[in-house]
Amino acid sequence: MAALPSPPLDCVSRVRFSPQRGSPILLVSSWDSCVRLYDTSKSQLMGLQKQGMALMDCAFLDDTTCISGGLEKRVVAYNFQGQQEVEIGRHDAAIRCIEYHQPTGMVISGSWDRSIRMWDPRGPPGTPIQYSNLGVKVFCMDVGVHDLIVGGSDRCIYMYDVRKLGEPRQKRASSLKYQVRALKVSLDQKSYVAGSIEGRVALEYFDEEENQRSRYAFKCHREKGDKGEIVHPVNAVSIHPVFGTFASGGSDGVVCIWDGYAKKRLNRTNPHNTTISSLSFSADGTRLATGISYTFDDGEKLPLPSSSVQVRNIEESEVLPKKSRD
């Protein structure tokens, strides 16, 4: 595993590989108000954009252009080659989540102002083309081919048809007892993975009947302590783009790889020096980027653990579903 140069100076809010298959390009946003662009094949910083306040999420429009949002309340597009910044839109409070929906070319943002907004990065800036008043703060979000899923501060999962926001087509209480911190749509688009602060992960299905039959949750990112079991939040989830297995990252500093359908853990790393804050598989599944930074689950620490972004090559044996091994 190799640590990338010129790491963020504060908490890593997101690591995200380019969606282009085979691309080694990685985007990293941070609470130090910067978005960094890396070529992970060369372990090289390719570009840096500085904004005014902490950034909470970022995504690719293409290999040289990103979108980002954070405490400034702005949805910003930035081209690293031309070093040009364009404000696409704004929210009334901090932007927690940013997604780019490739099939429609739309940018979707979720905010602590309790709204979901959709923007056309090619059109006039400032006015969302679609809007949904969620009524609760957005804590996590992911988009599939047709589905947008949102984890709210009320511990509910909101499901939208990405082509038509407005009212969610389904509002569902999470099977997890505590706040959901990470959401990812599965590879087959039939289910999603949720991770929560209680050290549990759930696999749930979009279809309500199938969800009642087949959903389940399991404990993870826990360890034995002198006074009993120590529970660590699950902060990040990433779906393997080839096999559909998934990685989870916790405040224990550990990354685990799971076969959700077989209900088995496939692999577990040794603990890092501090919390796992973000994870991303490359589009071809051969690399895994890990954002490592303290997320203040245990309050202030002095000295503060340093942040880093590490990338390692993934062997097929680490992510192969159990049935393919038998």
DSSP type of residue 323:
H
Give me the residues paired with residue 142 across strands.
149
Residues in CB range of 289: below 8 A, 6 or more apart: 15, 16, 17, 26, 40, 278, 279, 280, 281, 282, 309, 310, 311
Cα–Cα nearest to 242, from 318, 139, 161: 318
Confidence label for 126 from pLDDT (cuts 50, 70 and 90): confident
How large is the average pLDDT for residues 226-233? 88
Distance separating alpha carbons of residues 24 and 22, to the nearest angstrom: 6
How large is the average pLDDT for residues 69-93? 97
Confidence label for 249 from pLDDT (cuts 50, 70 and 90): very high
How large is the average pLDDT for residues 136-158? 97
How large is the average pLDDT for residues 157-182? 93
Cα–Cα nearest to 69, from 9, 4, 121, 135: 121
**pLDDT tens profile 291-316:** 999 888 777 777 888 999 999 999 99
Distance separating alpha carbons of residues 187 and 191, to the nearest angstrom: 8
**Model pTM greater than 0.75?**
yes
Confidence label for 324 from pLDDT (cuts 50, 70 and 90): low
Confidence label for 325 from pLDDT (cuts 50, 70 and 90): low
Could you give the dihedral angle defined by the CA atoms of residues 166, 57, 276 and 205, in that order, rounded to the nearest 10 degrees?
Answer: 20
How large is the average pLDDT for residues 188-209? 96
Choice between 301 and 250, residue whose per-residue pLDDT is larger: 250
pLDDT value at 326 more than 70: no
> What is the DSSP secondary-structure string of 188-230?
TSSEEEEEETTSEEEEEESSHHHHHHH-EEEE-SEEEETTEEE
Domains of the chain: 2-325 (2.130.10.10)
Confidence label for 121 from pLDDT (cuts 50, 70 and 90): very high
Choice between 322 and 277, residue whose per-residue pLDDT is larger: 277
For strands 180-185 and 191-196, give the pairing: antiparallel
**pLDDT tens profile 257-292:** 999 988 899 999 999 999 999 999 999 999 999 999
